[in-house]
Amino acid sequence: MDFPYDLVTLGHFEAGGGWEAQIRQYVRKKYRQDLAGLADLDPQTLAALFRGELAPGRPYATIQWVLRVAPFRPLELFLLFDQDPEFGTDLRVFYARKSLVVPTEDAYVFAWDYVALLARYGRGQFPLTNAGPGPEWLRFGDFAPDGASPMQDVSLGAREEILERVTPEVVEVAVRRMDCGTFAQGGGSWEVAWPLLGDLSFRFRYGPAGSEMAFDSHGARKYSPEFLMSLTWLYINGLLRECRQVDDTLPKLSAYF
């Protein structure tokens, strides 16, 4: 079948392919039964909820649909939903070859987050409706349960040292390079707002008082704090990497870990 994409697996990101094996194990042992429920869901609605699109063509006959998701440049994932009469349900994760410039761990976490989220939709944990982001911003510390605040510290951690050195002008260019999100500044602070899913948005603000994470009032109530913080970590990583592409005097993010 015609499938006009140059794709690689997660194993291409590192020698040995350990990350690829972990994802396959999650799909086959932990989520296979949940993912089978995707057969009863409208793939077009799923695509909208993931801010993605259904890719044309299929690499082989048992693939029911291919969901293309592009969180930000250059990362581009393809989620292939496979239903084989003999072997059952499977979900394969591939990447556009250009995604190889993304660090392996970030590529893995994105894949893991999307697989886990699809499994939750497959088992009916979330309704298949796209309500859109809520009208208000809720700070993470105001709605997260007690004991969740360390997750915010982990998501930022040493990144705060880089953020102190980044100028708003550099951030604005970096956001454009990511091809995702909007930039604004005022009152000595700057902020970036990213649409993470069809019904989830994230705002990151930084200024003299430090950093603030906020999520839209719909997504903040729908998704777990752990999932929200995982996406937060990935998007802030992406922003700081792009900032260094704009200003090479900034330290590499990898130097802190």
Give the C-alpha separation, 179 to 242, whole Å: 11
pLDDT for res 223:
95
**Strands across the sheet containing 200-207:** 137-139, 210-216, 200-207, 189-197, 182-186
Percent of the chain residues topping a pLDDT of 70: 93
pLDDT for res 257:
57
At residue 91, what is the residue type? L
pLDDT for res 16:
56
Q: Lowest mean pLDDT of 35-44, 176-185, 225-234, name the range.
A: 225-234
Residue 6 has pLDDT above 90, yes or no: yes
Cβ burial, residue 249 (10 Å; 0-12/13-18/19+): exposed
Give the C-alpha separation, 26 to 18, whole Å: 13
pLDDT for res 149:
55
Tell me: the pLDDT tens digits for 92-121?
A: 999 999 999 999 999 999 999 999 999 999
Contact between 228 and 140 under an 8 Å Cβ cutoff? The reply is yes
DSSP secondary structure letter of residue 191: E
Cβ burial, residue 254 (10 Å; 0-12/13-18/19+): exposed
Look up the pTM and report it.
0.92
Cis peptide before 195 (omega within 30 of 0): no
pLDDT for res 18:
85
